[in-house]
Chains A and B, each alone.
Chain A
Amino acid sequence: MKFGMALLILILVCSLIGSVIVQRQTAEYYAAEYPGLTGVISALLLDDIFSSWYFITLLALLGVNLLFCSVLRLKSTLKLRDSGISRALKKESEPVSGNERDKIEAFLKSRHFKHKKEGQTELYYKNRTGYFGSFITHLAILMVLVFAAGAMYLSKYEDRDIYPGESYTMDDGTVIAVDSFTLGEGDKPDYVSTIRVTDKSGNESGEREISVNYPLSFGGHKFYQHSYGVAGHATVTNAGKTSGITLEEGMFMTVDGENGVTFEALYPDHMTDSDGTITPIDADDYAAPVYLVKVTEDGETKEGVVLPGTTLAVDNVLYTFDDPAYYPGIRIKTVPGIVMGLLYLSFGLLIAGLYLCFFHVPIYVKIDKSGFAVDGPKIDPGFLSDIDALRRAKC
């Protein structure tokens, strides 16, 4: 147990250091924030302590310690439980009167104690499953370590920005289509994407909503509403045919390859001078967005600012700049379902084990001709006080 305590203390120290030193930053960051300590931080891997070999070794050793010091002691736990009754029967009794004996028995029956008669001795007992509290707790912690490691290392993540109306096909053939994305207001959940997933076998999820805290599990993957962004959008009309384009910086929209419009940037806001000159500015929200574009026609290129709703005609092709659209960032996670299931099972076992350990403590009360005795691994002084009060009560 000493070794186990030492491991816990070392894990605690590493955790403390990892919470104080900001993790996973650039070398420049540590040079600026911790001048003079950069060498130590780097040498001891304090900038990524939770992934360091020594921290992982500590966790692995803790798992081994749990296995040998607790889980493999199930046999001794069973022996302890099995010998509980015989030990209680051998305990020396404290003399009580017949009246007190009756009161104690009535009290034990009201507390739902089980009852067993051994010759002239009445034995009351309860909470014998409590013997397994320690075993279950330590087994559960070991399971948490193993399955948490499994979940962390077996999880694969993919982050994709998928514009409304577009879809993305994963390597395994799963297709995710985003129908719409809204920011939401008032009572409605915020950041809601409506998506449709078709798995590699062709099974369809149908139209489903995902938002923060409400991901979709389908086809062996989990789809999260992870982030969002704003993108410019344009509609190009050429010879009566119209197509919508989600704009990316530097994109050159053209039909003939020579004349067209280059999308430079989308600014969230703008200022208009007294002479009507529009100047794009940065801001936190897209209150009055403008597009910065370059128009190339007949070998000449001109840069300019365009408001949403404006149409530019370049070489008989119409480029209409629409209102910017919000798009969702979808995180796709893949992890074996059984690993997560076993991890959550271990969570439940841990809670159950702790409850048994601290609140379901075995207790025995022996009543025979010579008196009564209380026995158990951790006798509640309050229970003894109750018995004393009962004996002293006059009725």
Chain B
Amino acid sequence: MLNILFFASLIALLFATIAEFAGLIFKKDAVKKTAWWTSVGGFALLTAYVAARGIVAGRLPLSNQFEFAVAFAWGVSLFHIVLRLWTKQDWISAVALPAAFLILSYAALLPREITEMMPALKSAWFGLHIGSAVFSYASFAVAGCAGVKYLVSLKKIRDEADERLVQLDYVIYKLVAFGFLMLTVVILSGCIWAEQAWSAFWTWDPKETWALITWIIYAIFLHQRMRKGWRGKKIAIFAVVAVVCVLFTFIGVNQLLPGLHSYA
């Protein structure tokens, strides 16, 4: 049953992504509308999967790389729906749907067995720490994809003062700001939890260090925007490059730099 929900959501997101691009290329509104409703269905299926897995496991399903990847994809899907409804702009689908699908595809490559949670993860801080990481990473991922959209659109529109690009630039900024706030919650809640679990709130573990590196990169991003007036193309490029750091913190650290933090 769990596998059916998982693969159904994966297929729905794939179909939604293909339909979205088909609608864009062939300029068919009906196809894009199908993409939208399929993506909503995919999100609903993914939500059902996450909830069902949590019920079967008897805990929040966030304790290993697979579960976090699924939650990450869920977060990107959620951002997609919220941003579409907030901005009433359908370009969000072209950036968020491929991201959600790719992340969920990565999850599909990982072992899916439900395992007993390690003692070190059994804490009241677990939900806040990992949950805020989901929202942080999802926000940065959508910002990165929106940065790609900005650069592609700039090539066609050629005028950074165009209202569409101004709005896109603002959305990138707000997504990064939200992701940065959430990442700060991740780091600080992690410090408090580490002090309770390991007696030291910071040990320069690779995962902690890369979370800090990511935080510094986005702090520079926000400083450049707020103090130096960086807008448009510079911000878009920065958002795209910075998300590479997020992906390394998510995947690279676990594979290449294992440490005390090697759960997800």
**A interface residues with partner B (beta carbon < 8 Å):** 1, 4-5, 8-9, 11-12, 15-16, 18-20, 23, 50, 148, 151-152, 155, 157, 189-191, 211-215, 222, 224, 226, 331, 333, 340, 343-344, 347, 350-351, 354-355, 357-359, 378, 380-382, 385
Contacts and interface: CB of A to CB of B under 8 A. Distances in A.
B227 interface: yes
B102 to A, nearest CB: 25
B178 A358 contact: yes
A382 B119 contact: no
Contacts of B86: 382
Contacts of B220: 5, 8-9
A212 B199 contact: no
Sorted nearest first, the 9 A-B pairs with minimum C-beta distance are A358-B177, A190-B119, A213-B123, A19-B209, A347-B188, A212-B119, A19-B206, A12-B216, A50-B204
A205 to B, nearest CB: 18
B196 A213 contact: yes
B85 interface: no
Interface string B197-214: 111111010100110110
Contact of B212 (A9, A15, A347): A15
A351 B188 contact: yes
B223 interface: yes
B122 A212 contact: yes
Given A11-B216, A344-B192, A18 B257 contact: no
Contacts of B119: 189-191, 211-213
Contact of B196 (A16, A190, A215, A381): A215
B204 A351 contact: no
A67 to B, nearest CB: 17
**Secondary structure of the B contact surface, majority rule:** helix
A336 to B, nearest CB: 14
Sorting the interface of chain B by its residue count into under 10, 10 to 19, 20 to 34 or 35 or more gives: 35 or more
Contacts, number: 102
B199 A8 contact: no
B184 A350 contact: yes
Interface string B162-191: 000011001000100110110011001001
B192 A359 contact: no
B46 interface: no
Contacts of A351: 181, 184-185, 188
B219 interface: yes
Given A8-B219, A354-B184, A15 B202 contact: no
B217 interface: yes
Given A5-B223, A8-B216, A354 B199 contact: no
B120 interface: yes
A11 B215 CA distance: 12
A1 B223 contact: yes
A381 B177 contact: no
Contacts of B217: 12
23 contacts: A12-B217, A15-B212, A19-B204, A19-B210, A19-B213, A19-B257, A50-B204, A148-B201, A152-B202, A189-B122, A190-B122, A212-B197, A213-B124, A215-B196, A331-B199, A347-B188, A350-B184, A351-B188, A358-B178, A359-B178, A359-B181, A380-B170, A381-B166
A28 B185 CA distance: 39
Contacts of A358: 174, 177-178, 180-181, 222
A20 B125 CA distance: 28
B181 A16 contact: no
A80 B167 CA distance: 27
Contacts of A214: 196
A224 B199 contact: yes
